[in-house]
C-alpha cells in the first residue's frame, strides 16, 4: 500500500475515534460565541490579510468573576447536568416550558399592545437540543417590533459581555451594572449593524446571574431582525423597561429548569504578554508630543488612538507574540519572506498600503518584526481613528521611521 | 437571528459538530481543549453569517473550511503557549489502539500548522488539490508542493511505524 494510502487509513482510524466530550455545550458555546460576534463584529478589528494575529477590541475578560460567589439560585435540575440531553426526567414537559417561555414574555410587556407571531420554544425539534426562546412581534400602536428572549446557562467562569470602547462603537449607548446578589446586567442600545449608525436598531439586555444562568432580551424597531422595514424611531421598550424585563423574577422558574453545564477543568492559557504591559510599553515609546487616547487591550494586544496636537487622530495597534523557532519555522518563514535582516539578526517587514478595511483616504502602515529569540512585535498604524472609517489626517501620526524605531526598541524584549 | 433561522442553525450545528470536532482533533494533534475552542469559534463564525452560509451549496464543507482557517489563525495567536504533544485524554480512544494512534498524533504534532492542515485536508477530509488550495487561499501548485513536503516530513518522523498502524 502506498505511503499516502497508509497515512489516510491511519488518519481515518485515529480521527474516527474522537468525540466531543459535551456536544450540547459545544453547540451552545458556538451560539454564544456567534451572538457576541454578531454584536461586535463591526467594532474595530485589527488583523487580517497578512496573517496578523488578533483581533477584537473591547472585551475585557473577567475570567473568574462568576465563580467567586457561593450564591446559587438554581435548584433541582441544576444538580443533574445530564439533563441537558434529555427531557425524560423533567417534572414539567418541554411543551409546557415552551408555553411558559412565551407566556412569561407576554406577561412582562406593557399591556394594551398587539401581539402577533408569538412562538415559545424550550428544546429544538427532536427534543435533544435545549434552546429556550420566546419571540413575538409587539405593536403598542406606534409600529410593530420584534422582541426575543433567550435563556442559557453558562459555565461558571465564562466571559461576561462587556461594552465596546465607545471610540470604536460610537453609535451605541452601552452600560454594564453589577446588581445586588452578584448578577451582572449589560444594556446596549445599538444598531443591528453597529458600524452603520442607521437602519434597524437592536436594543439588547443580558443578565448573567451569579450561578451562570443568563437571560438575553433583544428588541428591534422593525418587525424582524433583518430584511424588514424600520417601523418606528426606536424599539418600544426603554432602557429601564428592558432592564425590568430581563431582571424580572418571573423568569426564575424557567431558569431553575435549565440544567447547569458541566464545568470544564481550567487549563494553562495565555495569548501572549499582558495587554496592559503592552500598552505601558507602547506609551513609554511614544515620541515627545504624541499622546495616546482611548486605550484598549487584551492578552497579546493593545491599541489606542494617537494625537500629535496638529491634525486629527490615528489608530495604532501592537501585537506581541512569541514564536518557537523550530515549531513555528514554517509560518515564520512565510510571514517574513522577503524580510530585511537587521544587525542583531531580527527580521523586519514593512508595508505601507491602503487600509484593508477601507475608509476614504485611509492608509495602513505595518512594521512586523521577529527577533532571533522568536519574539514578534507587529505595529499597525492608520491615519483614521478607527478601522474602516475615513482618514482623519493625511498620514498616520508616527512617521514610518518612528514606527520602525518603536517596534525595534529593546523595551519590548522585557515583555516575554 | 430569527427563530426559524436559529432553529436551522442549531440543527446544522448539532449534526455537524461531531465531524468538525474530529477534524479539529487531528488539526490540534489530539489536544481536546484546542479542538473544542476551534469548533466553538467555527460554530460562532457560522452563526454570524448563517443566513448567507445556509444558502450556500454545501454549508458543511464550508464549515470545515472555516475550521481550518480558524486553526491556522488560532495557531498563530496561541503560539506562545501551545506546545503540541499529541497527548490523548483518557477514554477518548479505545485502549488497545491508543499507542498506535498516539504515534500518528505525535507525528502530526511535530509538523508545522500548515503542513498539518494540508495533510488533514488531503488525506482525512479527502479534498482535491483545488479544493485544498481554496481552503488555504493558495494555488494548486503550492498545495502540491506543500503536500509532498508534508508527506516527506511525516514519513521521516513516522519511519516504519505506519505499516503497523495501518494493519491495526
Does A17 contact B at CB distance below 8 Å? Answer: yes
Diameter of chain A measured on Cα atoms: 76
Query: Which of B66, B75, B80 is the best residue to mutate to test the A interface, defined by the most A CB atoms within 10 Å of its own CB?
Result: B80
Give contacts of A35 with chain B, Cβ < 8 Å. Answer: 47
Q: Tell me the nearest-neighbour CA distance from B40 into chain A, angstroms.
A: 5
Element (H, E) at A213: strand A213-220
Does B26 contact A at CB distance below 8 Å? Answer: yes
Of residues A259 and B19, more confidently modeled: B19
Of residues B160 and A397, more confidently modeled: A397
B67: phi then psi, degrees, rounded to nearest 5:
-55, -50
pLDDT for A226: 66
pLDDT for A46: 28
pLDDT for A83: 31
Instruction: Report how many helices (DSSP H) and strands (DSSP E) chain A contains, helices first.
Output: 8, 14
Contact B10 A6 (CB under 8 A): no
A363-370 sheet: strands from edge to edge: A291-298, A301-307, A314-322, A375-382, A363-370, A347-354, A340-341
Does B77 contact A at CB distance below 8 Å? Answer: yes
Give contacts of A224 with chain B, Cβ < 8 Å. Answer: 2
Does B15 contact A at CB distance below 8 Å? Answer: no
Q: What is the mean pLDDT of residues B44-57?
A: 84
The secondary structure of A153-189 as a DSSP string is EPPTT-PPP-PPPTTTSTT-EEEEEE-TTS-EEEEEE
Of residues B140 and B51, more confidently modeled: B140
Distance CA A104, CA A98 (A): 10
Which residues between 20 and 49 in chain A have a beta carbon less than 8 angstroms from any beta carbon of chain B?
A: 20-21, 23, 26-27, 29-38, 41
A264: buried, middle or exposed (CB in 10 Å: 19+, 13-18, 0-12)? middle
pLDDT for A165: 61
Indicate which CATH number applies to the domain containing B110: 1.20.140.160
Query: What ipTM was reported for this prediction?
Result: 0.85
Query: Contact A197/A209 with Cβ under 8 angstroms?
Result: no
Helix (H, G, I), strand (E, B) or coil at A201: strand
Q: Would you tell me how many other CB atoms lie within 10 Å of the CB of residue A227?
A: 10
Q: What is the mean pLDDT of residues B14-35?
A: 92
Query: Contact B162/B151 with Cβ under 8 angstroms?
Result: no
Q: Supply B78's cell numbers.
A: 496561541
Segments forming the whole domain that contains residue B44:
3-167
Q: Would you tell me how many other CB atoms lie within 10 Å of the CB of residue A406?
A: 22
Q: What is the mean pLDDT of residues B5-17?
A: 86
Q: Supply A361's cell numbers.
A: 483616504
Q: Tell me the nearest-neighbour CA distance from B112 into chain A, angstroms.
A: 6
Helix (H, G, I), strand (E, B) or coil at A66: helix
pLDDT for A290: 96
Which residues between 130 and 149 in chain B have a beta carbon less than 8 angstroms from any beta carbon of chain A?
A: none
Spans of chain A below 50 pLDDT? 40-90, 264-271
Contact B9 A31 (CB under 8 A): yes
Does A267 contact B at CB distance below 8 Å? Answer: yes
Give contacts of B6 with chain A, Cβ < 8 Å. Answer: 31, 131, 133
The domain locations on chain A are 74-256, 275-415
Diameter of chain B measured on Cα atoms: 54
Q: Would you tell me how many other CB atoms lie within 10 Å of the CB of residue A380?
A: 26
Contact B151 A119 (CB under 8 A): no
pLDDT for A166: 64
CA angle B150, A377, A363 (to 5 degrees): 100
Does B113 contact A at CB distance below 8 Å? Answer: yes
Which of A3, A14, A129 is opposite residue B10, by nearest beta carbon?
A129
pLDDT for A70: 27
Query: Contact A73/A213 with Cβ under 8 angstroms?
Result: yes
Q: Supply B138's cell numbers.
A: 493558495
Contact A34 B120 (CB under 8 A): no
Which of B73, B115, B120 is opposite residue A53, by nearest beta carbon?
B73
Span of A53-57, A247-251, B31-35, B155-159 with lowest mean pLDDT: A53-57
Which of A6, A18, A51 is opposite residue B162, by nearest beta carbon?
A6
Q: Which CATH class is domain A275-415?
A: alpha beta
Distance CA A346, CA A357 (A): 29
Distance CA A345, CA A371 (A): 7
Contact B13 A272 (CB under 8 A): no
Which residues between 70 and 99 in chain A have a beta carbon less than 8 angstroms from any beta carbon of chain B?
A: none
> How large is the angle between the packed helices B59-77 and B32-48, nearest 10 degrees?
120
pLDDT for A269: 37
Task: Please state the domain count of chain B.
Answer: 1
Give contacts of B46 with chain A, Cβ < 8 Å. Answer: 30, 34
Distance CA A406, CA A410 (A): 9
Cell 460562532 sits on residue: B44
Distance CA A162, CA A376 (A): 29
pLDDT for A130: 75
Contact A30 B46 (CB under 8 A): yes
CA distances from A140 to A133, A144, B127 (A): 22, 7, 54
Q: Tell me the nearest-neighbour CA distance from B75 into chain A, angstroms.
A: 9
Position B123 confidence tier, pLDDT thresholds 50, 70, 90: very high
Which of A11, A31, A131 is opposite residue B124, by nearest beta carbon?
A11
Which residues between 176 and 235 in chain A have a beta carbon less than 8 angstroms from any beta carbon of chain B?
A: 224-226
Amino acid at each position: 500500500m502506498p505511503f499516502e494510502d497508509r497515512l489516510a487509513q491511519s488518519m481515518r482510524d485515529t480521527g474516527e475515534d474522537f468525540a466531543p466530550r459535551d456536544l450540547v455545550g459545544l453547540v451552545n458555546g458556538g451560539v454564544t460565541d456567534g451572538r457576541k460576534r454578531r454584536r461586535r463584529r463591526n467594532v474595530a478589528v485589527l488583523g487580517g490579510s497578512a496573517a496578523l494575529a488578533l483581533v477584537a477590541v473591547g472585551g475585557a475578560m473577567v475570567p473568574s468573576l462568576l465563580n467567586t460567589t457561593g450564591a446559587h439560585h438554581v435548584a433541582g435540575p441544576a444538580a443533574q447536568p445530564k439533563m441537558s440531553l434529555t427531557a425524560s426526567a423533567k417534572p414539567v414537559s418541554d411543551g409546557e416550558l415552551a408555553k411558559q417561555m412565551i407566556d412569561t414574555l407576554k406577561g412582562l410587556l406593557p399591556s394594551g399592545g398587539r401581539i402577533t407571531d408569538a412562538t415559545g420554544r424550550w428544546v429544538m425539534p427532536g427534543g435533544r437540543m435545549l434552546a429556550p426562546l420566546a419571540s413575538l412581534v409587539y405593536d403598542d400602536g406606534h409600529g410593530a417590533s420584534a422582541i426575543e428572549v433567550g435563556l442559557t446557562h453558562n459555565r461558571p467562569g465564562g466571559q461576561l459581555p462587556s461594552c465596546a470602547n465607545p471610540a470604536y462603537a460610537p453609535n451605541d449607548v452601552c452600560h454594564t451594572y453589577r446588581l445586588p446578589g452578584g448578577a451582572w446586567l449589560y444594556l446596549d442600545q445599538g444598531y443591528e449593524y453597529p458600524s452603520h449608525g442607521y437602519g434597524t436598531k437592536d436594543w439588547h439586555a443580558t443578565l448573567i446571574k451569579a450561578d451562570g444562568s443568563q437571560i438575553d432580551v433583544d428588541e428591534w424597531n422593525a418587525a424582524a431582525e433583518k430584511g424588514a422595514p424600520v417601523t418606528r424611531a426606536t424599539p418600544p421598550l426603554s432602557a429601564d423597561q428592558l432592564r425590568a424585563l430581563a431582571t424580572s423574577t418571573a423568569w426564575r422558574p424557567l431558569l431553575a429548569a435549565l440544567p447547569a453545564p458541566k464545568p470544564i477543568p481550567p487549563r494553562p492559557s495565555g495569548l501572549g504578554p499582558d495587554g496592559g504591559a503592552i500598552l505601558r510599553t507602547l506609551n513609554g515609546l511614544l515620541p515627545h508630543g504624541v499622546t495616546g487616547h482611548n486605550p484598549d487591550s487584551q492578552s497579546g494586544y493593545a491599541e489606542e488612538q494617537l494625537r500629535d496636537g496638529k491634525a486629527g487622530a490615528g489608530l495604532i495597534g501592537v501585537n506581541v507574540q512569541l514564536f518557537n523557532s523550530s515549531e513555528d519555522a514554517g509560518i515564520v518563514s512565510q510571514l517574513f519572506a522577503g524580510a530585511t535582516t537587521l544587525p542583531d539578526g531580527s527580521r523586519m517587514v514593512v508595508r505601507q498600503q491602503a487600509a484593508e478595511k477601507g475608509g476614504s483616504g485611509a492608509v495602513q502602515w505595518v512594521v512586523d518584526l521577529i527577533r532571533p529569540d522568536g519574539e514578534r512585535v507587529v505595529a499597525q498604524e492608520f491615519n483614521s481613528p478607527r478601522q474602516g472609517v475615513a482618514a482623519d489626517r493625511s498620514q498616520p501620526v508616527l512617521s514610518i521611521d518612528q514606527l520602525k524605531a518603536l517596534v525595534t526598541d529593546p523595551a519590548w524584549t522585557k515583555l516575554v | 437571528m430569527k427563530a426559524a433561522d436559529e432553529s436551522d442553525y442549531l440543527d446544522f450545528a448539532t449534526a455537524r459538530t461531531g465531524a468538525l470536532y474530529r477534524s479539529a482533533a487531528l488539526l490540534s494533534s489530539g489536544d481536546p481543549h484546542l479542538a473544542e475552542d476551534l469548533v466553538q469559534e467555527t460554530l460562532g463564525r457560522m452563526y454570524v453569517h448563517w443566513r448567507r452560509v445556509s444558502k450556500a451549496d454545501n454549508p458543511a464543507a464550508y464549515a470545515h473550511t472555516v475550521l481550518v482557517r480558524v486553526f491556522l489563525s488560532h495557531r498563530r495567536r496561541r503560539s506562545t503557549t501551545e506546545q503540541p504533544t499529541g497527548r490523548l485524554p483518557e477514554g477518548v480512544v479505545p485502549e488497545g489502539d491508543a499507542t498506535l494512534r498516539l504515534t500518528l498524533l505525535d507525528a502530526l504534532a511535530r509538523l508545522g500548522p500548515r503542513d498539518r492542515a494540508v495533510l488533514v485536508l488531503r488525506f482525512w477530509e479527502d479534498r482535491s488539490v483545488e479544493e485544498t488550495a481554496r481552503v488555504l487561499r493558495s494555488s494548486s501548485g503550492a498545495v502540491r508542493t506543500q503536500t509532498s513536503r508534508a508527506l516527506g516530513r511525516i514519513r521521516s518522523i513516522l519511519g516504519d511505524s505506519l505499516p503497523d498502524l495501518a494493519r491495526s
